[in-house]
């Protein structure tokens, strides 16, 4: 049957058979082959023996002898003025002229009369690397790897055709088209394989060096030639036949006239085998018979080599960096603008001058701990009531003590009055009125927590100034802030220790009582209308406690700014007890007494049958009663000042999001409004950054050990690692060391960034406290941490250790590779730092965070490709490598290192080995040779992801929850 497909197949095979019948790139012309110069015979398989290029089809051909398949041209002698393997390279103008005259006849004298005509007939031999029409080139191949297999002499001949019409040699002009290359490799006089490529472009430089770049490379190994199965166990047939893609032929400028030139024959796979210079060629000779006219016509038109274009990755990277810098500058400008505006127009500290605080029906319920997380309905329905129906009112200048045994709800009431975030459900109304009795929407509440969390390395004065800078409006001038700080110092009796460091448990600074007063001072700096303190005297001795109480007394009765002071007191001495104007006694969340202090409570309870024993501390008596209160007292609400002004627009109370629906008091809307306002800070973002950075800078300067330790350790490690891998050579063992060195650096960075985790965990309590105190926004804190942790403690040490190691170990020594190496490590360092930040932010337990971080390091090393070949990992686990940032880092580092053209030169039991390190890298670790920019982009992607994660974690997780 004759079918179209069969016909097609037939045509296809016929075409193939025809195409294959011409060897050496010859083209079919009718039934015969049009052969390239230097070859002949029916199928162009026979090489010419001697003669010259102009003889074309008349040239003598060499026949195979001695039962061989292919001819051997070793014995063929070249004519005078011709050289190279196959005698196609002219060496002198006279040789070209003679050969030309032999073919076309000598030019007549009339021809020679006119200058142009003379030039037209004048042949010259161009021996420069640059080609004008079609140039022959012949080189010795001297590659150790190839010589290890085939030690005999090898040569490569190449015909580079730029414009065949311009060449007079008949063998050449009839062959090939613009921009083609045809090359043959000869081994011991016998042709082994030939290659062709097209769409070539030539670049040439003033110094005489020259490059050809071609596409569509195609090579053919001649069956049974020595390389191609003649020695079966060393056959290169498959390798040669698979050469494809682009071909580059780069030739250096001749060192001196007549000296042999070196060239490189480069193709991706050849580069892989033989190193970045591909097949290195030596003693190259160039020869091109060409009319003087052609050279003159092109002589002046020295085309400059096109500027080496930046790769797409670099351009994209530069664009991104540029955009980031621009964005940062814009933001900075915006920040400056807003800062200036705030300084000009911001409010001055307004003194509300006497605020009355009042609360009605305040209650608080926590979830039943036995209730399932997923149970439907009101989560607090069967909850545990902590506070119930509390009322109270404190006038300016009054001090209220909240008393009660442990568990009575003192701290809870304090938190609710101070507007803290609570996990449970709070209800009721808290309101503030100014002197005129008008409701106040924005009372300033100062809160002093039970424990002191203070910046250890600052002095007392600096800590107060820090608070003043951040908690007072921008418009308050510096001098006023200094005066305020000075006033607070005197008021608190801290003037003596004003310039002492606060200190930490390890490095003692000021005493406990002084710390407590400083905490109060930090709240006072913001000029609060209401000052609320949670057990300000716990942990202090009687004298210190009384000192604190007298400070509070002074604050409350300040004649310029009478303040409401509310403090929970755990176990007051009688002296301390008498310092308070009013007393609120709590028992199991209920009010037992609320009214004047002093002896009034004793009288009140005496009337109810519980007289205070003679000589007994009234406070102790009250606590005794509260510890075991008679039910009669609890059921009858005995509050003296129960709320009488229910219509006052209130500011409170519901803080938990889940109870938004079903609020039973009008405070809800305003409560939300307050929450929105609560996010506002007294200062602009830029000021926050400035002030925070100022503190971090002081930390860094004072705690020099931190910075010096990081830098010194980096230098020592650099010398250690550099010594370990000192001047690695290019043997197989040296290659292992090189890669080991890169791995060492990666692992070092991964582990040393653990310290950033510690600093975040360490600084967390202070951040929580200051965030709750609305000193600054979390973003400002993060940014200052990045500026003062990442740059001096991460990037700088990384640069130090990498630089020392790099030059001591003798890695690729040129600037480009060095900076690319640095870029990878710096990015990795930032990436790991942010990752550890993230862990520290997510897990409030530092131990868990450190464990996870260490395990992550281990995982990263496992999948980095050094311990197990990435392709050998079972597919179930293989995907894990894509999350491994260390893998990308090491790949980029290795690619950068071997991409410098590193060759491994060694000998295995006497057999010389000369192989590209790139090949070994791909085989050994499964790294891709072109992945440098991909890896950089992925690492940047990880950095962005971690940064977003850190921001989210800081906003959502690192916040006070009481
Ligand atoms: C093809 O062959 C014919 C005669 O056989 C010849 O005239 C012509 O020049 C040849 N063409 C090429 C391109 O060699
Ligand atoms: C140069 O020589 C070629 C043939 O060799 C001829 O065709 C051409 O016209 C000549 N050009 C000049 C300018 O003489
Ligand atoms: C070869 O290049 C020359 C200019 O260098 C041009 O005039 C000619 O048309 C080109 N020939 C082909 C086949 O492209
Ligand atoms: C070619 O001939 C030379 C000597 O004339 C000889 O040394 C060489 O081995 C021969 N080449 C091959 C491939 O046999």
Of residues 167, 173, 178, 175, the one with CA closest to residue 290: 167
Who contacts 546 (Cβ-Cβ below 8 Å, separation ≥6)?
A: 573, 575, 576, 579
Do 368 and 383 meet the contact criterion of CB atoms below 8 Å apart?
Answer: yes
Given the CA of residue 114, which atom of ligand 2 is nearest to it?
14
Predicted structure pTM score:
0.72
Taking the centre of ligand 4 as the mean of its atom positions, its distance from the CA of residue 229, in whole angstroms, is 17
Same domain, residue pair 833 and 766? yes
580: domain CATH number? Answer: 3.40.50
Last residue of a domain, one of 634, 661, 679: 679
Region 914-930 average pLDDT: 78
> What is residue 196's predicted lDDT score, i.e. its pLDDT?
92
SS3 126: strand
> What is residue 108's predicted lDDT score, i.e. its pLDDT?
62
Taking the centre of ligand 3 as the mean of its atom positions, its distance from the CA of residue 178, in whole angstroms, is 6
> Could you give the CA distance from residue 76 to residue 92 in angstroms, rounded to a whole number?
20
* CB atoms near residue 65 (< 10 Å): 10
Pocket test of ligand 1: the residue of 34, 42, 161, 164 to mutate, having most ligand atoms within 8 Å of its CB, is: 34
Of residues 810, 837, 839, the one with CA closest to residue 897: 810
> What is residue 642's predicted lDDT score, i.e. its pLDDT?
36
> Could you give the CA distance from residue 667 to residue 449 in angstroms, rounded to a whole number?
26
Q: How many domains does the chain have?
A: 4
The residue contributing the CA closest to ligand 4 atom 4 is 74
- In this structure, is residue 799 part of a structural domain? yes
> What is residue 300's predicted lDDT score, i.e. its pLDDT?
44
**pLDDT of 960 above 70:** yes
Same domain, residue pair 167 and 225? yes
Same domain, residue pair 535 and 506? no
Pocket test of ligand 4: the residue of 188, 228, 230 to mutate, having most ligand atoms within 8 Å of its CB, is: 188
Given the CA of residue 187, which atom of ligand 4 is nearest to it?
13
**pLDDT of 804 above 80:** yes
Same domain, residue pair 522 and 664? no
Given the CA of residue 111, which atom of ligand 2 is nearest to it?
14
Who contacts 509 (Cβ-Cβ below 8 Å, separation ≥6)?
A: 456, 500, 501, 502, 503
Same domain, residue pair 612 and 747? no
Last residue of a domain, one of 502, 526, 550: 526
> Could you give the CA distance from residue 597 to residue 600 in angstroms, rounded to a whole number?
6
> What is residue 654's predicted lDDT score, i.e. its pLDDT?
35
Span 584-626, pLDDT tens digits: 988 888 888 888 888 888 888 888 888 888 888 888 888 888 8
Taking the centre of ligand 3 as the mean of its atom positions, its distance from the CA of residue 163, in whole angstroms, is 6
Q: Which range is most confident: 402-406, 665-669, 938-942?
A: 938-942
> Could you give the CA distance from residue 531 to residue 566 in angstroms, rounded to a whole number?
6
Do 155 and 231 meet the contact criterion of CB atoms below 8 Å apart?
Answer: no
Taking the centre of ligand 2 as the mean of its atom positions, its distance from the CA of residue 106, in whole angstroms, is 13
Taking the centre of ligand 3 as the mean of its atom positions, its distance from the CA of residue 30, in whole angstroms, is 25
Helices (H), 608-731: 618-627, 631-635, 667-678, 685-702, 704-724
Q: Is the CB of 188 under 6 A from ligand 3?
A: no
Span 545-572, pLDDT tens digits: 888 888 888 888 887 778 889 999 888 8
Pocket of ligand 2 from Cβ distances under 6 Å = 116-117, 120
Span 280-330, pLDDT tens digits: 899 999 999 888 888 877 754 444 444 455 666 678 778 888 998 999 999
- C-alpha distances in angstroms, 319 versus 323, 325, 898? 6, 10, 27
The residue contributing the CA closest to ligand 3 atom 7 is 163
> Could you give the CA distance from residue 711 to residue 698 in angstroms, rounded to a whole number?
18
The residue contributing the CA closest to ligand 4 atom 3 is 74
Average pLDDT, the chain: 82
pLDDT category, 725, cuts 50, 70, 90? Answer: confident
Pocket test of ligand 3: the residue of 165, 179, 201, 301 to mutate, having most ligand atoms within 8 Å of its CB, is: 165
> What is residue 323's predicted lDDT score, i.e. its pLDDT?
93
Ligand closest to 105 (CA) is 2
Region 51-65 average pLDDT: 84
Given the CA of residue 70, which atom of ligand 4 is nearest to it?
13
Can you say whether the dihedral through the CA atoms of 624, 630, 633, 634 is positive or negative?
Answer: positive
Region 126-140 average pLDDT: 90
Same domain, residue pair 535 and 521? no
Region 892-921 average pLDDT: 79
Residue located via tokens 């310290």:
755
pLDDT category, 671, cuts 50, 70, 90? Answer: very low
pLDDT category, 715, cuts 50, 70, 90? Answer: very high
**pLDDT of 771 above 50:** yes
Cross-strand partners of 281? 141, 263
> Could you give the CA distance from residue 898 to residue 918 in angstroms, rounded to a whole number?
6
Same domain, residue pair 636 and 759? no
- In this structure, is residue 908 part of a structural domain? yes
Radius of gyration from C-alpha coordinates of the chain: 44
SS3 892: helix
Same domain, residue pair 251 and 363? no
**pLDDT of 14 above 90:** no
> What is residue 137's predicted lDDT score, i.e. its pLDDT?
92
SS3 249: strand
Residue located via tokens 């509440």:
445
% of the chain exceeding 90 in pLDDT: 21
Same domain, residue pair 463 and 554? no
> Could you give the CA distance from residue 712 to residue 704 in angstroms, rounded to a whole number?
12
Residue located via tokens 């032929």:
249
DSSP type of residue 356 = E
Structural domain range at position 88: 4-299
Span 838-893, pLDDT tens digits: 999 898 888 999 999 999 999 999 888 777 877 778 888 888 888 899 999 999 99
pLDDT category, 352, cuts 50, 70, 90? Answer: low
Q: Is the CB of 177 under 6 A from ligand 3?
A: yes
Taking the centre of ligand 2 as the mean of its atom positions, its distance from the CA of residue 296, in whole angstroms, is 15
> Could you give the CA distance from residue 649 to residue 430 in angstroms, rounded to a whole number?
9
> What is residue 325's predicted lDDT score, i.e. its pLDDT?
92
- In this structure, is residue 689 part of a structural domain? no
Of residues 62, 66, 13, the one with CA closest to residue 38: 62
Pocket of ligand 1 from Cβ distances under 6 Å = 29-30, 34, 174
Region 336-350 average pLDDT: 75
- In this structure, is residue 318 part of a structural domain? no
Of residues 956, 382, 419, 425, the one with CA closest to residue 661: 425
- In this structure, is residue 385 part of a structural domain? no
Taking the centre of ligand 2 as the mean of its atom positions, its distance from the CA of residue 202, in whole angstroms, is 26
% of the chain exceeding 70 in pLDDT: 87
Last residue of a domain, one of 280, 299, 318: 299
> What is residue 663's predicted lDDT score, i.e. its pLDDT?
31
Same domain, residue pair 755 and 648? no
CA angle in degrees (0–180, nearest 5) for 811-812-817:
115
**pLDDT of 35 above 80:** yes
The residue contributing the CA closest to ligand 1 atom 2 is 29
Do 756 and 793 meet the contact criterion of CB atoms below 8 Å apart?
Answer: yes
Helix, strand, coil share (%) of the chain residues, nearest 5: 45, 20, 35
- In this structure, is residue 391 part of a structural domain? no
Given the CA of residue 179, which atom of ligand 3 is nearest to it?
1
SS3 850: helix
> What is residue 280's predicted lDDT score, i.e. its pLDDT?
86
Burial class (CB in 10 A: 0-12, 13-18, 19+), 163: middle
Pocket test of ligand 3: the residue of 27, 160, 162, 163 to mutate, having most ligand atoms within 8 Å of its CB, is: 163
**pLDDT of 909 above 50:** yes
Taking the centre of ligand 4 as the mean of its atom positions, its distance from the CA of residue 48, in whole angstroms, is 16
Region 442-451 average pLDDT: 85
DSSP type of residue 64 = P
Q: Which range is most confident: 14-18, 405-409, 715-719?
A: 715-719
**DSSP labels, 538-567:** TTS-HHHHHHHHHHHHHHHT-SSS--EEEE
Two structure tokens written together for 193: 């394989």
Same domain, residue pair 900 and 856? yes
Same domain, residue pair 536 and 521? no
- C-alpha distances in angstroms, 327 versus 315, 330, 334, 653, 947? 18, 5, 10, 40, 17
277 vs 503 pLDDT, higher one: 503
- In this structure, is residue 332 part of a structural domain? no
**pLDDT of 72 above 80:** yes
SS3 434: coil
Cross-strand partners of 184? 157, 194
Given the CA of residue 34, which atom of ligand 1 is nearest to it?
14
The residue contributing the CA closest to ligand 1 atom 11 is 29
Burial class (CB in 10 A: 0-12, 13-18, 19+), 2: exposed
* CB atoms near residue 749 (< 10 Å): 25
Residue located via tokens 């001038």:
477
Q: Is the CB of 190 under 6 A from ligand 4?
A: yes
448 vs 116 pLDDT, higher one: 448
The residue contributing the CA closest to ligand 4 atom 14 is 188
> What is residue 17's predicted lDDT score, i.e. its pLDDT?
45
> Could you give the CA distance from residue 183 to residue 88 in angstroms, rounded to a whole number?
13
> What is residue 868's predicted lDDT score, i.e. its pLDDT?
80
Do 817 and 811 meet the contact criterion of CB atoms below 8 Å apart?
Answer: yes
- In this structure, is residue 413 part of a structural domain? yes
Span 205-259, pLDDT tens digits: 877 788 999 999 999 999 889 999 888 888 888 889 999 999 999 998 877 766 7
């Amino acid at each position: 049957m004759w079918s179209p497909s069969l016909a097609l197949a037939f045509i296809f095979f016929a075409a193939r058979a025809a195409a294959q019948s011409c060897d050496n790139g010859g083209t079919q012309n009718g039934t015969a082959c049009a052969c390239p110069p230097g070859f002949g015979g029916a199928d162009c398989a026979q090489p010419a023996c001697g003669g010259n290029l102009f003889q074309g089809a008349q040239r003598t051909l060499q026949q195979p002898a001695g039962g061989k398949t292919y001819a051997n041209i070793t014995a063929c002698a070249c004519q005078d003025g011709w050289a190279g393997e196959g005698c196609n390279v002219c060496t002198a103008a006279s040789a070209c002229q003679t050969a030309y005259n032999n073919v076309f006849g000598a030019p007549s004298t009339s021809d020679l009369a006119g200058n142009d005509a003379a030039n037209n007939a004048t042949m010259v031999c161009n021996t420069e690397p640059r080609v004008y029409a079609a140039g022959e080139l012949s080189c010795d191949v001297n590659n150790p790897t190839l010589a290890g297999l085939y030690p005999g002499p090898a040569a490569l001949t190449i015909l580079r055709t730029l414009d065949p019409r311009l060449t007079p040699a008949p063998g050449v002009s009839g062959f090939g088209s613009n921009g083609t290359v045809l090359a043959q490799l000869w081994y011991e006089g016998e042709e082994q394989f030939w290659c062709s490529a097209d769409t070539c472009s030539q670049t040439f430089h003033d110094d005489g060096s020259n490059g050809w770049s071609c596409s569509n490379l195609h090579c053919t190994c001649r069956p049974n030639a020595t390389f191609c199965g003649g020695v079966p166990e060393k056959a290169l047939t498959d390798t040669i036949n698979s050469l494809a893609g682009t071909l580059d032929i780069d030739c250096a400028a001749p060192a001196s006239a007549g000296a042999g030139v070196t060239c490189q024959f480069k193709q991706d796979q050849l580069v892989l085998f033989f190193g970045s210079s591909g097949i290195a060629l030596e003693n190259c000779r160039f020869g091109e018979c060409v009319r003087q006219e052609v050279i003159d016509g092109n002589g002046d038109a020295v085309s400059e080599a096109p500027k080496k274009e930046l790769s797409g990755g670099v351009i994209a990277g530069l664009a991104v960096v540029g955009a980031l810098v621009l964005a940062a500058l814009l933001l900075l400008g915006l920040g400056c603008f807003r800062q200036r505006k705030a300084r000009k127009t911001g409010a001055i500290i307004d003194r509300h001058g006497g605020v009355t605080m009042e609360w009605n029906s305040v209650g608080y319920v926590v979830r039943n701990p036995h209730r399932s997380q997923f149970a439907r309905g009101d989560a607090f329905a069967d909850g545990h009531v902590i506070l119930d129906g509390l009322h109270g009112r404190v006038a300016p200048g009054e001090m209220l003590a909240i008393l009660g045994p442990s568990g009575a709800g003192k701290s809870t009431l304090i938190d609710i009055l101070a507007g803290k975030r609570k996990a449970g459900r709070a209800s009721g109304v808290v309101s503030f009125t100014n002197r005129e009795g008008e409701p106040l929407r924005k009372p300033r509440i100062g809160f002093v927590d039970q424990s002191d969390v203070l910046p250890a390395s600052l002095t007392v004065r600096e800590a107060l100034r820090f608070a003043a800078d951040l908690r007072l409006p921008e418009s308050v001038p510096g001098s006023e802030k200094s005066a305020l700080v000075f006033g607070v110092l005197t008021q608190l009796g801290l003037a003596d220790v004003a310039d002492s460091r606060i200190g930490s448990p390890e490095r003692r600074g000021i005493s406990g009582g002084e710390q407590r007063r400083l905490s109060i001072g930090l709240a006072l700096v913001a000029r609060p209308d209401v000052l609320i303190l949670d057990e300000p005297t716990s942990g202090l001795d009687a004298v210190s406690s009384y000192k604190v109480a007298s400070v509070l007394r002074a604050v409350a009765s300040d004649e310029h700014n009478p303040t409401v002071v509310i403090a929970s007191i755990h176990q007051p001495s009688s002296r301390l007890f008498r310092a308070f104007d009013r007393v609120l006694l709590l028992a199991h969340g209920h009010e037992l007494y609320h009214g004047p202090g002093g002896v009034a409570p004793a009288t009140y309870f005496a009337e109810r049958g519980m007289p205070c024993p003679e000589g007994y501390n009234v406070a102790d008596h009250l606590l005794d009663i509260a510890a075991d209160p008679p039910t009669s007292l609890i059921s009858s609400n005995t509050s003296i000042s129960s709320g009488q002004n229910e219509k006052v627009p209130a500011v409170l109370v519901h803080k938990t999001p889940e109870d938004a629906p079903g609020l039973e008091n009008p405070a809800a809307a305003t409560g939300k409004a307050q929450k929105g306002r609560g996010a506002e800070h007294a200062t602009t973002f830029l000021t926050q950054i400035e002030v925070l950075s100022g503190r971090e800078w002081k930390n860094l300067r004072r705690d020099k050990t931190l910075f010096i330790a990081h830098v010194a350790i980096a230098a020592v490690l650099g010398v250690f690692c550099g010594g370990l891998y000192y001047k690695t050579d290019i043997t197989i063992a040296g290659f292992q060391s090189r890669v080991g060195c890169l791995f060492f650096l990666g692992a070092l960075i991964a582990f040393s960034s653990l310290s950033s985790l510690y600093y975040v965990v360490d600084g967390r309590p202070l951040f929580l406290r200051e965030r709750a105190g609305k000193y600054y926004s979390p973003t400002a804190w993060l940014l200052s941490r990045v500026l003062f942790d990442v740059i001096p403690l991460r990037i700088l040490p990384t640069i130090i250790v990498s630089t020392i190691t790099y030059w001591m170990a003798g890695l690729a020594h040129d600037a480009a590779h060095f900076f690319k190496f640095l870029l990878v490590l710096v990015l990795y360092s930032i990436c790991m730092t942010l990752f550890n930040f993230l862990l520290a932010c997510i897990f409030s337990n530092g131990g868990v965070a450190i464990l996870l971080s260490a395990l992550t390091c281990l995982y990263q090393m496992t999948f980095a490709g050094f311990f197990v070949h990435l392709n050998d990992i079972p597919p179930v686990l293989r995907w894990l490598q894509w999350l491994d940032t260390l893998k990308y880092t090491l790949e980029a580092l290795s690619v950068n290192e071997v991409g410098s053209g590193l060759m491994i030169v060694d000998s295995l039991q006497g057999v010389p080995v000369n192989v590209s390190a790139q090949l070994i890298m791909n085989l050994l670790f499964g790294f891709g040779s072109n992945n440098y920019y991909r890896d950089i982009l992925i690492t940047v992607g990880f950095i962005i992801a971690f940064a977003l994660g850190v921001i989210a974690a800081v906003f959502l997780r690192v916040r006070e929850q009481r």
